[in-house]
């Protein structure tokens, strides 16, 4: 006896509509592969590349609470804005984010990162200086590497002082693709 897709979807939507979830997530397609997108009642809390939903659900449960459920609707706004972004029709995301599980330093850096405009790049050192921690370029690198909400918090726009791409948690190919999409790759050396 298996549960029909309709019945399954009805429960998931009802659970989300009743406000019973700590985290709702869904998978969505994009030009850089399937993305897992997760949100709490405070805002977007996770985007992951090449997602393994079971492991992600474990992580989300530990970070935000055990009532984690896949549900389409809570993620709709983020999905729509991502689609517009990848279609070249959106240069700014208008989505609240939930960074409550990030340490204060990370949160500070990620907030500054969010202000780096579409089509531009910055460097690890510049972000560190902006945060009043000029010696912390390496720590900024770590924050970028652990960015829970890539794309929307644009860590792909952070490059080395010499313009090299340096690294990307989702793989350098994706970083390159995102920067090309934004028309920002001309300024960087490859």
Partner 1 sequence: MALVVPPFESFYEEHRDAVLAELRRVLGRDRAEDAYQETFLRALRGYAKLRHTENLRAWVLTIARRVAVDQLRRREASPPDPQPATDARPAYAELGELADDLPRKERTAVVLRYGYDLSYAAIGAALGSSEDAARQAASSGIRRLRHRLGGAATKVGAALPPQPMTKRRMQ
Q: Which residues are catalytic?
A: 155
Q: If binding means CB under 8 A, how many residues of this protein chain bind partner 1?
A: 25
**φ, ψ for residue 13, nearest 5 deg:** -65, -40
Closer residue to partner 1 (CB): 7 or 87: 7
**φ, ψ for residue 128, nearest 5 deg:** -60, -45
Longest distance between any two alpha carbons in the chain, whole Å:
61
190 is a contact residue toward partner 1 (CB under 8 A): no
Q: CB of 26: closest distance to partner 1 in angstroms?
A: 11
137 is a contact residue toward partner 1 (CB under 8 A): no
66 is a contact residue toward partner 1 (CB under 8 A): yes
**Residue 173 CB partners (closer than 8 Å, separation 6+):** none
186 is a contact residue toward partner 1 (CB under 8 A): no
**Residue 77 CB partners (closer than 8 Å, separation 6+):** 95
Q: CB of 60: closest distance to partner 1 in angstroms?
A: 7
68 is a contact residue toward partner 1 (CB under 8 A): yes
Bridge partners for 97 per DSSP: 44
Helices 137-145 and 104-113, packing angle to 10 deg: 80
Interacting residue ranges for partner 1, rule: CB under 8 A:
1-3, 7-8, 10-11, 14-15, 18, 20-22, 53-54, 57-58, 60-61, 65-70
């Amino acid at each position: 006896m298996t549960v029909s897709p309709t019945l399954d979807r009805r429960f998931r939507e009802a659970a989300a509509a009743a406000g019973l979830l700590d985290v709702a997530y869904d998978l969505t397609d994009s030009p850089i592969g399937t993305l897992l997108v997760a949100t709490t009642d405070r805002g977007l809390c996770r985007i992951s590349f090449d997602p393994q939903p079971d492991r992600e659900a474990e992580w989300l449960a530990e970070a935000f609470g055990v009532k984690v459920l896949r549900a389409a609707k809570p993620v709709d706004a983020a999905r729509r804005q991502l689609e517009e972004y990848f279609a070249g029709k959106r240069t700014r995301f208008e989505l609240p984010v939930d960074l409550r599980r990030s340490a204060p330093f990370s949160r500070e850096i990620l907030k500054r990162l969010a202000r780096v405009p579409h089509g531009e790049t910055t460097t690890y050192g510049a972000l560190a200086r902006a945060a009043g921690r000029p010696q912390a370029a390496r720590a900024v690198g770590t924050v970028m590497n652990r960015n829970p909400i890539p794309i929307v918090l644009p860590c792909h726009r952070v490059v080395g002082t010499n313009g090299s791409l340096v690294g990307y948690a989702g793989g350098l190919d994706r970083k390159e693709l995102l920067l090309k999409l934004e028309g920002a790759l001309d300024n960087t050396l490859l």
